[in-house]
């Protein structure tokens, strides 16, 4: 199944499918779709509800963002601004073309021009999408702390973490009523301190320890 078909299939049974959005193009650079104005999408007889127009555009911006995300990431709209320039009549077909204004690691901004047949542009919607990064495992979070650091910087960071661990062991030992468990915690603190001392020596000296 190609990307366009996958996007269309994903809306089935959800709100975009309820609106009747039909995707014509879906790429990381542009999303195009159409929607027929039905009576049940109108706010007064014969005129489409402004919220339905906004929802149409919001869907396109969300799809555009999704197509730019890394595996496992998600997105949500955090801001949307709409300029309504004209009405959309029942029975007419809307055409939405959505393009990115900004594609960053934390946010993306998309703008959708909504046109109606015979009416020209009826709305311009600019929305900001928050990028929801996939949840990292504890190991991945720790590994990221060391990324892009020199070996010397990594040693300093790890020594600080070892000393932090020693402080935690001592704090736990102070609250431990069982003498045997308390001694085990203090021994663990001593090992952490010893590791920190090794890391703080020069690499050449540590190699001979």
Are residues 170 and 143 located together in one domain of the fold?
yes
Are residues 145 and 119 located together in one domain of the fold?
no
Are residues 67 and 119 located together in one domain of the fold?
yes
Are residues 151 and 61 located together in one domain of the fold?
no
Are residues 98 and 166 located together in one domain of the fold?
no
pLDDT (0 to 100) of residue 55: 98
Are residues 58 and 19 located together in one domain of the fold?
yes
Q: Residue 69 sits in a domain of what CATH number? A: 3.10.129.10
Are residues 143 and 181 located together in one domain of the fold?
yes
Q: 78-105: per-residue pLDDT in tens?
A: 999 999 999 999 999 999 999 999 999 9
Q: Cβ distance 109 to 62 under 8 Å?
A: no
Please provide the distance, in angstroms rounded to a whole number, between the alpha carbons at the two ends of the chain: 59
Are residues 38 and 121 located together in one domain of the fold?
yes
Structurally, the chain folds into a number of domains equal to: 2
Residue 1: pLDDT above 80? Answer: no
DSSP conformation class of 149? -
Are residues 194 and 155 located together in one domain of the fold?
yes
For residue 125, give the 3-state DSSP assignment.
Answer: strand
Q: Which tokens sit at 147?
A: 């990324």
Nearest to 62 by CA among 96, 94, 18: 96
Last residue of a domain, one of 86, 103, 132: 132
pLDDT (0 to 100) of residue 141: 83
Q: In which domain, by residue range, is 172 found?
A: 138-207
Q: CA 166 → CA 145, 157, 182, 188, distances in Å?
A: 19, 14, 13, 7
Q: 139-169: per-residue pLDDT in tens?
A: 888 888 899 899 999 999 999 999 999 999 9
Are residues 76 and 176 located together in one domain of the fold?
no
């Amino acid at each position: 199944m190609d990307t366009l078909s996958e996007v269309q299939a994903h809306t089935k049974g959800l709100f975009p499918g309820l609106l009747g959005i039909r995707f014509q193009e879906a790429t990381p650079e542009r999303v195009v779709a159409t929607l027929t104005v039905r009576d049940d999408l109108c706010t007064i007889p014969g005129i489409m509800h402004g919220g339905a127009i906004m929802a149409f555009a919001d869907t396109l911006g969300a799809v555009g963002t999704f197509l730019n995300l890394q595996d496992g990431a998600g997105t949500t709209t955090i801001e949307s601004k709409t300029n309504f320039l004209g009405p959309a009549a029942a029975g007419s077909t809307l055409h939405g073309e959505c393009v990115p204004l900004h594609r960053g690691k934390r946010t993306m901004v998309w703008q959708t021009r909504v046109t109606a047949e015979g009416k020209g542009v009826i709305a311009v919607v600019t929305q900001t999408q928050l990028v929801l990064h996939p949840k990292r495992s504890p190991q991945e979070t720790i590994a990221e702390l060391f990324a892009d650091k020199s070996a010397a910087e990594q040693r300093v960071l790890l020594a600080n973490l070892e000393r932090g661990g020693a402080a935690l062991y001592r704090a736990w030992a102070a609250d431990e009523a069982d003498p045997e468990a308390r001694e085990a915690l203090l021994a663990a603190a001593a090992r952490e301190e010893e590791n920190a001392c090794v890391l703080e020596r020069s690499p050449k000296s540590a190699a001979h320890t």
